[in-house]
Amino acid sequence: MFGDGMPLLRRCLHQLKALMDSELPLLSQRMWAEGMDPALFATHWFNTVFSYSMPFGHLVRIWDVYMVEGFKVIFRVALTVVGRLRTGVTMGFEKLAQALSPKGMQSLLGRSTPDQILEVTRRRRSSILPYCIYQVGCQVTDTDSCMQAALKIPVSERLKKSLATWR
């Protein structure tokens, strides 16, 4: 991660972008159109494993899973956090940047607890799409559902595929 040119970080950002394109196509198209590249909001997520952004209670639970599952949990949480942007499809660059900043993280998390985030992950592995209101016709009825679904997002195979397109 921290070698010359930070190649692992660049790879992770490339993979996150590919995952966002497949999981959150409307939102990611809007973000790319606004010039909101993952390097602008997710660099510190990967460099610090969310320690700069997450409330401590959430951070400790995410790190627990990180120690067991490895780096893919960072991608899952990142997708969930980005997916929580309720008005992201209509936001401009500055509002997107503010919403994804460490100060904006608490409002994106809402009142979800770390255990709520992890519970759904244990029960089911599915796409984040049903939990995001950015997709046409989709409603979030339980604001905790997006965050709870984070760790259930199947990313392993897609991370491998996006790695093949990196460089």
pLDDT in tens, 18-55: 999 998 899 999 899 999 999 999 999 999 999 988 88
Over the chain, what is the mean pLDDT?
75
Q: Is the dihedral of CA 20, 22, 24, 27 positive or negative?
A: positive
CATH number of 7-164: 1.10.472.80
The answer on pLDDT for 121 being more than 90 is no
Instruction: Using only the alpha carbons of the chain, give its radius of gyration.
Output: 15
| CA nearest neighbour of 125 among 76, 59, 66, 159 | 76
The domain locations on the chain are: 7-164
